[in-house]
Structure 1
Amino acid sequence: MGLNYYQIKENVLQARKLVIRGTSVAGSGHPGGSFSMAEIMGCIFYNHLKYDPKNPEWEGRDKLILSKGHASPGLFSNMAVAGYFEESQLDTLRQFGSKLQGHPDLKCPGVEFCGGS
């Protein structure tokens, strides 16, 4: 994507807001773990990764592996800001049948790996 510093900073702030929104609506989750990786995720997502949210299976994409699975709200928030799905989907975090679970799930378009930890 190659955004500048101020655009990345704005996206990181929006992603943090979505982490709070999602974990608050869910009544559970790990916002601290997501916050501790917010800036690095922002730099990776908006300045280094090659991806197409409209075509998550694009062969030329980079693959992000989040081994810190309990920080999935941070991953999902950045994915929403990047356009993989509507930001309102964060309201379904950790709900039965949602693509947005407590750890990354391959049912969610754009998720490449189901991590633990």
Structure 2
Amino acid sequence: MPALKDIATQIRRDIVRMVHGCASGHPGGSLGCTDYFTALYFKVMQHNPKFTMEARNEDVFILSNGHISPVFYSTLARAGYFDVKELATFRKIDSRLQGHPATPRTPAWYSHCQRFIRTRYERCPWCSFI
């Protein structure tokens, strides 16, 4: 496995390519969070790229800041959740990789709590304690 620094560098490249490729997005937050995502997904978290909603014996990552979706998508692709080539579809029509990961088609995605906060916590299993 490549060193964490090398993985983080590649994820940063992916972020710049994704945002530049669609001429839209917020690269700053994603670039600033890259080291955290790299450490979590490649060193700290127990996770399985054969993603299931049950997440048995796995750590679950909850993202509530949709503006950093480029780092989330790149990290997932580099961790084997889907083909890295799919990153080129970021924010394109009919892509699974939209600007805010809130669709059921988004790979390895449990819920988007920010979206549910606007709907008074309806149906959000992660926000039910609030």
Residue 108 of structure 1: aligned partner:
106
The structure 1 residue matched to 2:44, chosen from 37, 48, 55, is 48
Identity %: 32
Q: Which residue of 2 aligns with 1:90?
A: 87
**Displacement of 1:27:** 1.0
Structure 2: gaps (5+ residues): 116-130
Deviates more, 1:19-28 or 1:55-64: 55-64
* Map 1:7-46 → 2, pairs under 5 A: 7-46=3-42
What residue identity is the alignment partner of 2:85? S
User: CA-atom RMSD, angstroms?
Assistant: 1.8
Give me the TM-score of the superposition, normalised by structure 1: 0.87
Larger displacement relative to structure 2 (104-113 or 69-78): 104-113
Per-residue CA deviations over 1:29-84 (Å, capped at 9, x if unaligned) read 1111101111111111111111111x101422211111111100000010111011
1:67 maps to what in 2?
A: 64
* Equivalent residue letter for 1:28: S
| Residue type at the aligned position of 1:56 | F
1:81 pairs with one of 78, 81, 93: 78
Gaps of 5+ in 1: none
What's the counterpart of residue 119 of structure 2?
none
State how many pairs are aligned.
112
Instruction: Give the structure with higher Rg (CA).
Output: 2
2:3 aligns to what SS in structure 1?
Answer: helix
Q: What CA deviation, in whole Å up to 9, does each residue of 1:7-39 have, x standing for no partner?
A: 111111111111111111111111111011111
Q: Is the 8 A contact 1:103 1:116 kept in 2?
A: no
Give the Å deviation of 1:111: 1.5
Task: Supply the AA of the counterpart residue of 2:19.
Answer: T
Q: Which 4+ residue blocks in structure 1 deviate beyond 4 angstroms?
A: none
The letter for the 1-side match of 2:38 is G
Letter in 2 for 1:88: K
